[in-house]
Amino acid sequence: MSISYGSFPGTRPRRLRTTPAMRRMVAETRLHPAELILPAFVREGVTEPVPLQSMPGVVQHSRDTLRKAAAEAVAAGLGGIMLFGVPEESKKDAVGTPGTDPDGILQVAIRDVRAEVGDDLVIMSDLCLDEHTDHGHCGVLDAEGRIDNDATLERYAEMARAQADAGVHTVGPSGMMDGQVGVVREALDGAGYQDVSILAYTAKYASAFYGPFREAVGSSLKGDRKTYQQDPANARESLRELELDLAEGADMVMVKPALPYLDILSRIADAVDVPVAAYQISGEYAMVEAAAANGWIDRDRAIMETLTSVRRAGAGMILTYWATEVAQRLNRGE
């Protein structure tokens, strides 16, 4: 019988799926702990961690438990930790003063984590006003209640200097203001912090999946963010944002959310030669946890599948609330 090796039966792709060892050997995409970044919330005025109802397993840390979480991240081999500060409600105001106060909770948390882990973990900080304003928006409002882009940039420059003073390695401007990366770079360089890097939230979409995050940061948001975050219908726009961020000095770029925007992630990863991150956000986390709690999906397999898909699409770094858990599993060879 004549067999053609360009088609069945000579060619059988299933030969490379026969055993776990075979599948492991030919796997095209792998996860590594160093590629994972842990987002962590620290809440002012608490002495015990506060569990988040909408994100089972995630907490608002006290200062002490944040230090422990950072130490665990180092032990697990994580690449970094992204810090979000949750100030006391009474301290919030229209311009987000806690975000630039040297004694604001985020700056305190940066100093705490730097003292705990030094340079063994890349310490990142959210550079945005939404956690710190009484209206919950990412910028300063004008007299008519609209986001004042350029006035907001002045506040971002102050935040960048405050976070760098506290010892951060990387700032993450996430407010989607026009010109934010350039202003932050100029502020850092002008203050002598040329070595502090910028992870630009380049393609950040006005997503429905941010809901649980609002609980996590105690958001006071009134209205929505559709006038400054990207329209989920648009793809080419993300490449324009990418070009601008790189021209302004971004060292790394990010797509947020991850799973609903894998196409955007892939396009950006193909277009650049700088590190690319993706943020697996609160709603993505909550969906998997909720479905698993109801017995509808296999939790552990779903977690690994989602992260692998984000890595496969082109992310070299992934921010995920499962970072430490997954790193520990990878270290055990699971």
For residue 168, give Cα distances in angstroms to 32, 108, 127, 329. 24, 11, 11, 28
Best CA proximity match to 149, nearest among 129, 170, 132, 163: 129
Catalytic residue flag (residue 222): no
Distance CA 24, CA 209 (A): 33
**Is residue 188 packed enough to be buried (19+ CB in 10 Å), middle (13-18) or exposed (0-12)?**
buried
Q: H or E stretch including 270?
A: helix 262-271
Which tokens in the block code for residue 18? 């026969």
For residue 261, give Cα distances in angstroms to 155, 203, 206, 238, 307. 29, 9, 12, 11, 13
**Is residue 29 packed enough to be buried (19+ CB in 10 Å), middle (13-18) or exposed (0-12)?**
exposed
Distance CA 262, CA 331 (A): 26
Q: To which residue do tokens 């648009």 refer? A: 234
Q: To which residue do tokens 């990142």 refer? A: 124
Which of 91, 92, 226, 256 is catalytic? The answer is 256
Best CA proximity match to 84, nearest among 116, 117, 108: 108
3-state DSSP assignment of residue 307:
helix
End-to-end CA distance of the chain: 44
Best CA proximity match to 44, nearest among 123, 103, 124: 103
Catalytic residue flag (residue 92): no
Which tokens in the block code for residue 233? 């219908």
Q: What is the largest CA-CA distance in the chain?
A: 83
Which of 68, 91, 92, 204 is catalytic? The answer is 204
**Which residues are known catalytic residues?**
204, 256
